[in-house]
Amino acid sequence: MSVLVPDGTQAISNGTLQSTSSRAGWTRYNWRSDKPQASYLATLAVGKFDITTGRTENGIPIINAYSKDIGDNYGAARTSIERTGEIADWLTEYFGPYPYNALGGYVPNTPAVGYALETQTRPFYSPRQFANGSNVSVVVHELAHQWYGDLVSVAGWKDIWINEGFARYAQWLWSEHENEGTAQEIADYVYASHPADDPFWTVEPGDPGPANQFHLAVYDRGALALQALRNEIGDGAFFEILKGWPARYAYGNATVGDFVAYAESVSGESLGELFDTWLYEPVKPGAAAAGRGAVASAGVVPEAPRSWMKIVATNSVHEHEHEGGDGR
C-alpha cells in the first residue's frame, strides 16, 4: 500500500514500512505485507501518531501507533498495547509460530467508533476500548485472531465461530496464565449465568444467521464449546488441535465442518454429538454436557472469576456488526 499524505501526518497500514519519501509538502509511505490476506483485514489510518517500535523474542518487528489526540485514554491504551510482543510470544505456545513478518496495533482518534478489529499484523483499537483503564484482554483477543480468522479465514460468514469462539477462548487461557480464573471456572460461570430460558441459548454459534453474526453467544457459547471439547478429549489432544489447525489450513479458508473433521482425526473420537449440542442446538445443554467441574444447576451462579470484568470489557468490540445487541 503506497499512500501520499500531507507533511505532519503519518500513514499506518499492514505489514512492514518499506520506505518513505518527501516532496513539496507531502510524504509517501510504502507499506507491504508478504503473506495472503483477506480483503476485510486491510487497514489504513492517516493522522498524527506517536509511534513505538520493538521486537518479539523471535525477532518479529513491532510497530505500534497512538493518536496524539485521544486524551485521557492515551495512557491506558499505550499500557495495554505495548504488551503486544509479550502476548504474541505467549500465544505461540498454543497456536504455533506467529505467521507474519510484522506485528503491532494502532489507536486512531475515532471517538465515535467503539469496536476493535483484527486487521492483519496491526489490529485497530478504538480509544473507547480503554475508557475504563488498561484492557489487555482485548489485545489478547485481537492477537489471537492473527491465527484464528487471519491465518485461517472463514469460508463463509456462517463459520464465524472459527474466528470468535477461539479468540474468546484465548482470553480464558490468558486468565489462566494470569492466575485470575481457569478456563473451567469461567465456563462454569458463563454456563450458570444464563438460565435455560435466556435467548442466549437460542443462538447457534455454528451458524448464527446474519442477524446474530456477532452475538454474545457466538463468543461465550462458542468458547463453552471449546471447553467442552477440552474436557471430552483431554488437554493433550485439545492443545494439539489448537496448534495444528492453523498449520493445516494456513493462508486459506475453512468451515466449521472442516474443524469438526480435523478435531475427530486428531483425537480419534467421534465428536459430532458434542459439536451439535454446543454449536447447533437452540437450547441450553444439560449440566452433564457442560463437562467435569461444571455447576450442576443453572440456578446456582458461582462467584465471578477475577478476570471476568476484564473479559466483559471487550464485549463491545464488534458492536457495529450486531445492532441493538450485546455482541462482541
Q: Could you tell me if 178 and 141 lie in one domain?
A: no
What integer pLDDT is reported at residue 237 of this predicted model? 98
Q: How many domains does the chain have?
A: 2
Q: Read off the pLDDT of residues 230-275 as tens digits, 9 standing for 90 and up.
A: 999 999 999 999 999 999 999 999 999 999 999 999 999 999 999 9
Instruction: Read off the pLDDT of residues 131-145 as tens digits, 9 standing for 90 and up.
Output: 999 999 999 999 999
User: Can you name the residues that pair with 4 across neighbouring β-strands?
Assistant: 28
Distant-in-sequence, close-in-space partners of 288: CB < 8 Å, separation ≥ 6 = none
Indicate whether 118 and 188 sit together in one domain.
Answer: no
Please name the amino acid found at residue 115. Answer: Y
On whether both 134 and 219 belong to a single domain, the answer is: no
SS3 category, 249 = coil
The string of pLDDT tens digits covering residues 276-287 is 999 999 999 997
Same domain, 21 and 104: yes
Statement to judge: residues 166 and 134 lie in one domain:
no
Q: Is the pLDDT of residue 294 over 90?
A: no
- Does residue 326 sit within a domain? no
The pLDDT value recorded for residue 327 is 36
Does 180 share its domain with 311? yes
**pLDDT-derived band of residue 324, with 50, 70 and 90 as boundaries?**
very low
Residue 239 included in any domain: yes
What backbone phi and psi angles, to 5 degrees, belong to 62?
-115, 130
pLDDT exceeds 50 at position 325: no
State which of 130, 146, 162 marks the end of a domain: 146
What's the whole-model pTM score?
0.93
* Whether 118 and 166 share a structural domain: no
Asked if pLDDT for residue 53 goes beyond 50, the answer is yes
Which 3 state secondary structure label does DSSP give 200? helix
pLDDT tens column, 141-184: 999 999 999 999 999 999 999 999 999 999 999 999 999 999 99
CA angle 128, 131, 136 (to 5 degrees): 90
Q: Are 179 and 261 found together in one domain?
A: yes
Mark whether 110 and 176 lie in a shared domain.
no
Domain holding 58, by residue range, is 2-146
Residue 39 included in any domain = yes
